[in-house]
Amino acid sequence: MSETNEIKVAVDAIVFGYQQNTLFVLLVKQKFGQMKGTWVLPGGFVLKHESLIEAVTRELQEEAGIQVNYLEQLYTFGDNIHRDPRFRVISVAYFALVNPNNFALVEQNDTDAEEAQWFAIDRIPRLGYDHNEIIKVAHQRIKNKLTYQPIGFDLLADEFPFSDLESLYTIILEQDIDRRNFRKKILSLGFIEETDTLVANTGSGRPARLFRFNKDTYNQLLSKGFHFEIKFA
């Protein structure tokens, strides 16, 4: 017996931002339909002429007015056939890590998003669809990746005190790290450079130097293969 295929394909974007020792997630408020007034992840249906990455890039531009340089595919959500109350939708989720200071959220008129806003990871409201679950999966993915791949530099300023990098790992991983081992390990790999810029120390110690991420050195290490492991306190 033939059956009409009414399954739609969508994309959702989980954009993490880090600022003032807090991890944030970008959300948008629905303007129309059954979810009007509800916060959700940026996303929407894939158009016939689009690839998945083109669709999620477009949705971020339309709903939040931002362009993210790199998005990584997370997972396909569709086992729950009632995840969308209108009809069956399979969503391919992508995640990104960015520094919110580098983005200005812009309200768009020709979209179904009323506004865009950053929410602290521990203050995310009840979202539409299964988006709370999607965020949990994405959060766990970046926690796992941080233990074997130094991906946190996209969340920091171009130059940063080393303590900011330590705090970022502690907050995202939600547990204390062995700071002495962490600093020794990171600096030994050579993709963190000490700069000549000093930052005032709020304590009684000497001013600390700022550091920066050397992407070329990091890419060279990737091509050769290297072991990166975080030890917890």
Just list the catalytic residues. 115
Q: Are 186 and 150 in contact (CB under 8 A)?
A: yes
The neighbour count for residue 43, using CB atoms within 10 Å, is 25
Cα dihedral across residues 174, 177, 179, 183: positive or negative:
negative
**Three-state SS for 150?**
coil
Alpha carbon of 71 to those of 10, 68, 134, 202: distances in Å? 15, 7, 15, 37
The residues pairing with 24 across neighbouring beta strands, listed in sequence order, are: 17, 120
Going through the chain in order, the beta strands assigned E by DSSP cover: 8-19, 22-30, 39-40, 43-45, 72-77, 89-98, 113-120, 159-161, 192-199, 208-213
Q: Distance between CA 66 and CA 102 in Å, rounded?
A: 10
